[in-house]
Structure 1
């Protein structure tokens, strides 16, 4: 499974739009406001786990989702935990190529949200 990308691919509008165009991608991003495993996302959205893993991979590659670390599952296995990297995404189609502007999630917001959900 991919980790967070910082090699410039996350600013590629085509990759971002392609990832968002896939079924369940938006639902995964909405559900990943707090750190969740692929299994938890799959259960929350009620989609097959294999589909969830594919969408997660695409969203991570597009820079919209990041792996925040690993934790033990109920079965005692180490699982990746994911969270979305942004709260808003604006797409501008007025030029020859689409441009994106993002409202990134700050670490402070992540920590505050984590405390509120504990």
Structure 2
């Protein structure tokens, strides 16, 4: 798969850079290669659940994480399941506004990874 150039506005660039710069955001993105709830991410990374929810919201707003739907938790509650939207991101700071090159995750890769996890 080739990298896709994403034309970003200054607001989009600021949101991505802000989200990536927040403590634990990178760890959440790495852990969210497979669908996981906020509770599972919080436990995997060993961070408070409130912090995890704040980072998830930032990452979703920046387009780096997506809610894939809802599942029942072990306690029987409906909970959102998240997965990252990309595998790689490259940031070029040589111009006035950062430019991003992303390697997006494909649905085919997500389905294959889900099959391997089951």
Return the TM-score normalized by structure 1. 0.91
Shift in Å at residue 32 of structure 1?
Answer: 0.1
Partner of 1:88: 88
Partner of 2:21: 21
Report the count of equivalent residues. 110
Where has structure 1 moved over 3 Å in runs of 4 or more? none
Within a 5 Å distance, the mapping from 1:72-111 to structure 2 comes to: 72-111=72-111
Distance 2:12 2:92 in 1: 13
Within a 5 Å distance, the mapping from 1:36-115 to structure 2 comes to: 36-115=36-115
Partner of 1:4: none
Query: What secondary structure, in the 3-state scheme, does the structure 1 residue paired with 2:83 have?
Result: strand
CA RMSD of aligned residues (A): 1.3
Gaps of 5+ in 2: 1-7
Query: What secondary structure, in the 3-state scheme, does the structure 2 residue paired with 1:12 have?
Result: helix
Distance 2:40 2:106 in 1: 23
